[in-house]
Structure 1
Amino acid sequence: MLPFMNLLCTRHGYVLVQMCQIKHKRLILFCLLILLQIRLKTFRLLLNTLYDFDKKMMLQNPCLWRALLTLPIHLYIVKKDLQVSENLGNGLLNMYVKFGDMDSAEKLFDGIDMKTVFSWSSMIEGYMQKGDWESASVFFDQMPEKDVTAWNVMLNEFIAGNDLAAAEVLFRRAPEKDVVSWNCMIAGYAENKNFTRSLELFKEMILADIRPDRITISSLLAVCGFAGAMNLGESVHSIMKKQNIMGEEVEVALMDMYSNCGAPDEAMKSFDDISIKSVWT
C-alpha cells in the first residue's frame, strides 16, 4: 500500500476527512498530502503547500481551513510532549468540539493545566450537542467555578433538547440569574406553547428587578398573540414604551400581537409606527 493511502487509514486522516465532510477528490488528496508531510516532519514543505493551495477553494471550505491550521499544531505538541498554554488549549478544544470529536476534546481537556470557564463550557456544550446529557452533567457538576454564563449554557442546551423539566430544576438551582437566563426559560415555554408558564416567569422576572430586553418583549408579545391575551399584551406594550425597548423585531411582534388578538386598527397603527420597514414587515 502506498504511504499516502496507508495514511488515510490512520485516525487523524479519517477524522479530518469525515469531520469536514469533504466530497471533492482534490480536497481529499490535499488533506492526505498535508497529513503525510506532518508524519514526515517536513514542516517547511507543509507551510508551502498550505500557501500554494487554491485560496478560493479554501475559502469555500472554512471548516477544512481551520482543521488544517490547528491539527498539525496539536499533533506536533503531542509528539514533542509540550505543555499546552491556556489560549492554545482552548482554541484546539473549541475546534474538536465543533467537529464533534469529543474523545480528542476530552483528552486535550485533561492535558490543560489551567482550565477556564471557557474550557469547561466547551466540553459541556459539546456533549449536550451530541445528546450525551449524562457526560455533560458530570462535567457541569465537576466544574469548580460556575459563572452565570456556564449556567446559561447548560440551561439553553436543556431547552434546545425540549427537556423543560430539567431546565426548570437547573434554573432554580442557579445562584445568579441574568436577563439571558430568564429569556431562555420564557422563550422555551413559549415555543412549547406553555403560555401560562411564560407569563408567570415574566412576572417573577419583574419582581426580581431584572430589566427585560428586546428578546424578552418579543417572546412575550408572541405569547400574548397566541393566547389572545390582548390586555396583557397592552401591558407589555406599555413596558416596551416606558423602557424605550425598540427595534424592528419588537415592533413587528407588537403588530402581530394586535393582529392575532383581533385588533386590526391597533395592528395598523403599530405598522405605521415602525420606523424602518423591511420585506419581513
Structure 2
Amino acid sequence: MLSSTLSRPSVKHLISTCRDPQTLAQIHALVILTGSLSHPQSPGRLIAAYARLGDIAAAQSVFKTTSSHNVSTWNSLIIAQSRYNSPAEVLRLYHLMLSDGRVRPDSSTFTVALKACAQLSDLKTAEEIKTHAFGSGYKHDVFVCSSLLNLYAKCGKMDEAMKLFDEMPMKDLVSWTTMIMGFVNVGRPLEAIGIYRKMRAESMEGDEVVMVGLIQACAAMGDVRMGRSIHGHMIRRCMRMDVVAETSLVDMYAKNGSLELAHLAFERMHCKNVVSWSALISGYAQNGLASDALQMLVRMQECGLQPDSVALVSALLACSQIGFLKLGKTIHGYIEKRLEFDQILGTAVIDMYSKCGCLSSARSLFDRVGLRDSISWNAMIASYGAHGHGKEALSIFLEMSETGLEPDHATFASLLSAFSHSGLVEEGRYWFHLMLQKFGIEPAEKHYACMVDLLARAGHVKEAHELIKSMVIKPGIAVWVALLSGCHKHKTLELGEYVAGKVLELNPDDLGIHALVSNVFAAGKRWDKVGEVRKAMKKMGMRKVPGYSLVEVNGKLHAFLVEDKTHPQHEKIMEMLERLDYEMRKMGYIPKTEFVFHELEEDVKERMLCNHSERLAIAFGLLNTSPGTRIVIIKNLRVCLDCHVATKYISKIVNREIVVRDVKRFHHFKDGVCSCGDYW
C-alpha cells in the first residue's frame, strides 16, 4: 500500500520540488492520509511550499489547523509573510509567538523580524527584538547581526551600526557591503571609503554592489580620480556592468564635471533606463550646459521613454539658465498632465518662471501650490530679490513665519540678498542682527557676503570693511569680492587696491574675479598692476569670458556675442542700433567710454560699447517682434553702466518693456526708467 511505502524523506522531496498548486494540494492530502503530517517538520514545509507558489491563504490555513506549533512552523509562516512584503504581519506573528510562550524564537525568527523593522523604520521594536535576541544567546550570530546592521543602515543610524560592526566576530561580504552603502546613503562618503580599505586589509574582495557604493562615494566627494580608478578596477576584474553600475558611473563623471567621460560611459551602455538618461541630463544642466541637457531630453523621448521628475527638474533648470520660457511652459504643462505636482517639481517650475522674467507667473503658481516647504518659500523670496523687489521678499518672509515654518540659513541668505539688490540697508542691518539674536542662526560666509555687498554697494564701504574685520570666521573669496565690487563702484580706489591684493592672495580661479581686480587697478590708472593681473591670467591659461546675450523670439532662442558679425541680420541690426544711437543722443545720451579699460581712440570705444551683446540682442528683438511686445534678454555677465543707461533710453524711444537678466539680477526697463532705481 501507498501508506506503507511513503517515507519521510520522500515526503520532504515531494513538497520541496512541487511547482504547481493543484499537485501540491494532492500531496497535502496524501500527507494527511498517510499520517506524515504528524511529523514535526511537515507543517512547516507545507506552509513554505504554499507560500512559494503564491497561495498565502493556504499557508495560513495549514498553520491554523496544526495542533502544535514548533519553531519551524512559526518561522515558515513568518518567512512567508516577509517574502510577500508584509512587515507588519511579520511583527504581529513574532509577538504572537512570544505571547504563546511554548516556543523560543531562533536565529531565523530574529533575523526576519529585524528585517521587518527595517522595512517599517521601527527602531523601537527593533531594540526590543535585539535585547531579546542577545539575551537568548544570539549576540554573535552572523545572521542576526547582519539583519540588525541592515536596520541601522536603512534608518541612518550609522554610529550604532559601526559599534555593532566592530563587535561582530565574523563579517561576511553582506556586512561589509551594508556598511559601505549605509555611509554613502547618509552622506558620509569618506567613511564609506575607509570601510572599504579595512575590508581590503582583511583580504576581502568587493563585488559589483560594493563597487557601485564606492562610485557613489566618489560622486559625493568630487573625487573623479578615485572614481576612474574604481572604473578601471571593474574592467580589469571583468565585473558585470549592469544598468545600475553603468548609471552610477555616468552620474559620478557628470557630478564631477567630466561630461565627456559621462557621455562616453552613457553611449557605451547596452541598456539605458530612465535613471540613466536623467543622470546625464542632470549632469549637463548642473554644469551649465543647458542646450545639451535639453537635446538629451528630446533624445530620451525619441527612444520611447517618459522623463521622470529628475529629468524634468533638470530640464527646467536648463530652461532657467538660458531663459527659454516657451519650452519651460511646455514642461510645466507636461507635469500638470502626467505627474503629481509635488514640492520639488513645483519649486523648480516657480524658479523657472522667475528666471525667465515672469515673476507674476511664479507668484501665481506659488499661491496655488498646496504644501509648501522651506525650499519653496526660499525660492519665492529669492525670486523677488533677484527682480529687485526687496520689500515684497520681506513680506513673503513674514508670511512664511506666520505658517510656523522656521527660517534656515538659506532663507536668510535669500532675504539679505534681496535687501542688497534693493538697497534696503536699514532692513538688512535689522534682520542680520535678528538672525542670530532671535533665530539662533550663526552667520556663515554667505550671510556676511550679502551684508558686505549690501553695505558696500550702498556706499557704506568703510562699514562693510569693519564688518569683515569683526567676522569670527575667516573671510573667504566671496566676502572680499563683494567689498571689491563696492570699492570699484564708488571709486574707493585706495581701499580697493588693498582689497584687490587680498583677493589675489586667495588665488581665485574665476575669470570674472580677475577681470574685476584688473578693472579696479585700471580705474586707478595702475596700468602696471593691470599688466601683472593679465599676465597672471595668461599664464594660468585664462581669458576673459566673452559677453553673450540670449533673446527668445517666436519660441526660438537667438544668441549674440560681443561685436558679433555672424548673424544673418547683422546689417539690419547695425542699422537699428545707429538709428537708436541717433535718437538717444538727441535726448542727451553720452557714451560712458571711461568704462572701456583700453587705451583706444574715443570713437573706437564708442563703437565697442554699441556692439555689446545685449544691445545686439535688443535690436534683433525689436526687428523681429511686433510693436509693444515685451523683450527679455539673458546675459552671462553683469550689465555695464553704459548699456544700462542706453537701455533706459531705448525703452522710452520704442515704448516697450525690456527685461534684462544679468549674472546678478533682473532689470525691468520701461518708459526710460529701470526697476533697480540705478542700484545694482
Q: Same fold (TM over 0.5)?
A: yes
Partner in structure 2 of residue 89 of structure 1:
74
Q: 1:280 to 1:251 in 2, by over 3 A?
A: same
Hey, what's the Cα distance between the residues in 2 that align with 1:127 and 1:263?
Answer: 40
- Superposed displacement of residue 69, structure 1: 3.3
Higher relative contact order structure (alpha carbons within 8 Å, sequence separation ≥ 6): 1
TM-score norm. by structure 2 comes to 0.29
Q: Which amino acid aligns with 1:138?
A: T
- Which of 216, 239, 259 aligns to 1:222? It is 216
Larger radius of gyration: 2
Partner in structure 2 of residue 151 of structure 1:
145
- Matched-pair contact (CA < 8 Å) for 2:117–2:151: no
- Superposed displacement of residue 170, structure 1: 0.5
- Superposed displacement of residue 223, structure 1: 1.3
Residue deviations 1:143-191 (CA, integer Å, cap 9, x gap): 4355422221010011222211111010011111122111111111111
Hey, what's the Cα distance between the residues in 2 that align with 1:267 and 1:126?
Answer: 38
TM-score norm. by structure 1 comes to 0.66
- Matched-pair contact (CA < 8 Å) for 2:215–2:249: yes
Partner in structure 2 of residue 235 of structure 1:
229
Hey, what's the Cα distance between the residues in 2 that align with 1:229 and 1:127?
Answer: 35
- Superposed displacement of residue 229, structure 1: 0.6
Secondary structure of the residue aligned to 2:275 is: coil
- Which of 245, 268, 276 aligns to 2:271? It is 276
Partner in structure 2 of residue 121 of structure 1:
111
Partner in structure 1 of residue 43 of structure 2:
none
- Matched-pair contact (CA < 8 Å) for 2:183–2:189: yes
Q: Which amino acid aligns with 1:87?
A: S
Hey, what's the Cα distance between the residues in 1 that align with 2:223 and 2:173?
Answer: 23
Query: Structure 2 unaligned runs (5+)?
Result: 1-52, 277-680
Hey, what's the Cα distance between the residues in 2 that align with 1:188 and 1:98?
Answer: 24
- Superposed displacement of residue 221, structure 1: 0.9
- Matched-pair contact (CA < 8 Å) for 1:127–1:136: no
Provide the alpha-carbon RMSD of the alignment. Answer: 2.7
Hey, what's the Cα distance between the residues in 1 that align with 2:219 and 2:115?
Answer: 33
Task: Report the identity percentage.
Answer: 18
Q: Which amino acid aligns with 1:267?
A: A
Matches of residues 239-254 of structure 1 in structure 2 within 5 Å? 239-245=233-239, 246-254=241-249
- Which of 82, 96, 111 aligns to 2:102? It is 111
Q: 1:137 to 1:85 in 2, by over 3 A?
A: closer
Hey, what's the Cα distance between the residues in 2 that align with 1:164 and 1:242?
Answer: 32
Hey, what's the Cα distance between the residues in 2 that align with 1:106 and 1:212?
Answer: 39
Hey, what's the Cα distance between the residues in 1 that align with 2:87 and 2:275?
Answer: 35
Hey, what's the Cα distance between the residues in 1 that align with 2:147 and 2:177?
Answer: 13
Secondary structure of the residue aligned to 1:176 is: coil
Matches of residues 50-199 of structure 1 in structure 2 within 5 Å? 66=56, 68-77=57-66, 82-94=67-79, 95=81, 98-99=88-89, 100-101=91-92, 102-108=94-100, 110-112=101-103, 116-126=106-116, 129=120, 130-131=122-123, 132-144=125-137, 146-199=140-193
Query: Structure 1 unaligned runs (5+)?
Result: 1-61
Q: 1:278 to 1:127 in 2, by over 3 A?
A: closer
Q: 1:143 to 1:241 in 2, by over 3 A?
A: farther
Secondary structure of the residue aligned to 2:192 is: helix
- Superposed displacement of residue 233, structure 1: 0.8
Q: 1:97 to 1:272 in 2, by over 3 A?
A: closer
